[in-house]
């Protein structure tokens, strides 16, 4: 380990990180960062919740609320943010949160939009090798954040833009959750007579089936590219259905006029 790596991994007990939102993902953040920094948490549902103004006054502020609550949260913390504070979000879509942060946060803060491409289920065995997307919006502190995430937490860090992120996520994340939603409704799913490919598909379903409904709503409703991907997917599925029902050698075929 280099001197630089050692410095990155060393706990910074003089640094207090403000965490706004203590749901399932907020708790995951706290679990993995509590050994590196002091944490100050605000969430009205959390018994140990600190005052919002105090949390917003931290050097780093992580907004871990549902995307639908972003605007209200940003308006509430904006008056309390200090100069050079780094504000991050962890939402599953990036275009709208990025727009809101740039519009509503004061000019004296740095802004980094992020999307950890994992959740409590997929991170149950640790963070090593899991992906996180960084979308730098204002300031240069994101370089130190990226180094910390790589070296100290073992994450696979990549840089992108909010628009490019949402274009890709509409397919990779949007379809995963959509298919999982449909298959869960088709249950109970078989457990014994299964192929390896189905077992892998079922693993993917289990990773997302217990996600809160607001996450699905954000992925499908707040990603500007999700509706187009859904339409394309359903159109192709309909075409395939017609093809199967009109193939001569298949039993049960129907004649379509």
Structure tokens at 184: 């869960």
Q: Is 247 exposed, middle or buried (0-12, 13-18, 19+ CB in 10 A)?
A: exposed
Q: What is the C-alpha separation between 257 and 255, in angstroms, rounded?
A: 6
Number of Cβ atoms within 10 Å of the Cβ of 145: 19
* CA 250 to the chain's CA centroid: 43
Domains and CATH numbers, the chain: 3-160 (3.40.50.720), 169-245 (no CATH)
Summary mean pLDDT of the chain: 91
Looking at residue 6, its pLDDT comes to: 40
Which DSSP helix (H) or strand (E) runs through 70? helix 70-77
pLDDT digits (tens, 9 = 90+) for 55-113: 999 999 999 999 999 999 999 999 999 999 999 999 999 999 999 999 999 999 999 99
In the chain the first and final C-alpha atoms are separated, in Å, by 70
Question: Which stretches of 128-249 are DSSP H helices?
Answer: 142-151, 162-172, 174-185, 196-208, 213-221, 226-245
Structure tokens at 51: 């005052």
DSSP label of 187: P
Least confident of 140-144, 161-165, 206-210: 206-210
Q: What is the C-alpha separation between 82 and 105, in angstroms, rounded?
A: 11
Q: What is the C-alpha separation between 243 and 210, in angstroms, rounded?
A: 35
Give, in order, the Cα–Cα distances in Å from 64 to each of 112, 115, 179. Answer: 13, 11, 26
Higher pLDDT, 81 or 212: 81
The count of C-alpha atoms lying within 13 angstroms of the C-alpha of 81, restricted to the half-sphere facing its C-beta, is 26
Angle formed by the axes of helices 174-185 and 162-172, to 10°? 30
DSSP label of 94: -
- DSSP-assigned beta bridge partners for residue 88: 62, 112
Average pLDDT over residues 178-194: 93
Q: What is the C-alpha separation between 63 and 22, in angstroms, rounded?
A: 10
């Amino acid at each position: 380990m280099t001197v630089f790596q050692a410095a990155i991994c060393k706990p910074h007990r003089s640094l207090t990180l403000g965490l706004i939102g203590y749901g399932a993902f907020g708790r995951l953040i706290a679990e993995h960062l509590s050994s590196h920094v002091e944490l100050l948490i605000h969430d009205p549902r959390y018994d140990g919740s600190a005052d919002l103004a105090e949390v917003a006054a931290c050097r780093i502020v992580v907004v871990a609320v549902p995307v639908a609550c972003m605007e209200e949260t940003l308006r509430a913390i904006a008056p309390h943010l200090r100069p050079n504070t780094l504000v991050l979000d962890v939402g599953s879509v990036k275009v709208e949160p990025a727009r809101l942060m740039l519009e509503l946060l004061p000019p004296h803060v740095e802004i980094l939009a992020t999307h950890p491409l994992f959740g409590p289920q997929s991170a149950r065995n640790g963070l090593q090798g899991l992906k996180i997307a960084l979308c730098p919006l204002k300031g240069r502190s994101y370089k130190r954040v990226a180094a910390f995430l790589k070296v100290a937490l073992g994450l696979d860090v990549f840089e992108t833009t909010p628009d490019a992120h949402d274009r890709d996520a509409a397919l990779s994340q949007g379809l995963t959750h959509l298919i999982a939603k449909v298959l869960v409704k088709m249950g109970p799913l078989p457990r014994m007579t299964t192929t390896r490919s189905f077992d892998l598909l079922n693993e993917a379903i289990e990773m997302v089936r217990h996600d809160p409904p607001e996450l699905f709503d954000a992925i499908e409703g707040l990603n500007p590219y999700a509706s187009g991907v859904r339409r394309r997917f359903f159109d192709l599925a309909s075409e395939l259905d017609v093809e199967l029902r009109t193939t001569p050698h298949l039993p049960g075929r129907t004649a379509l006029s």
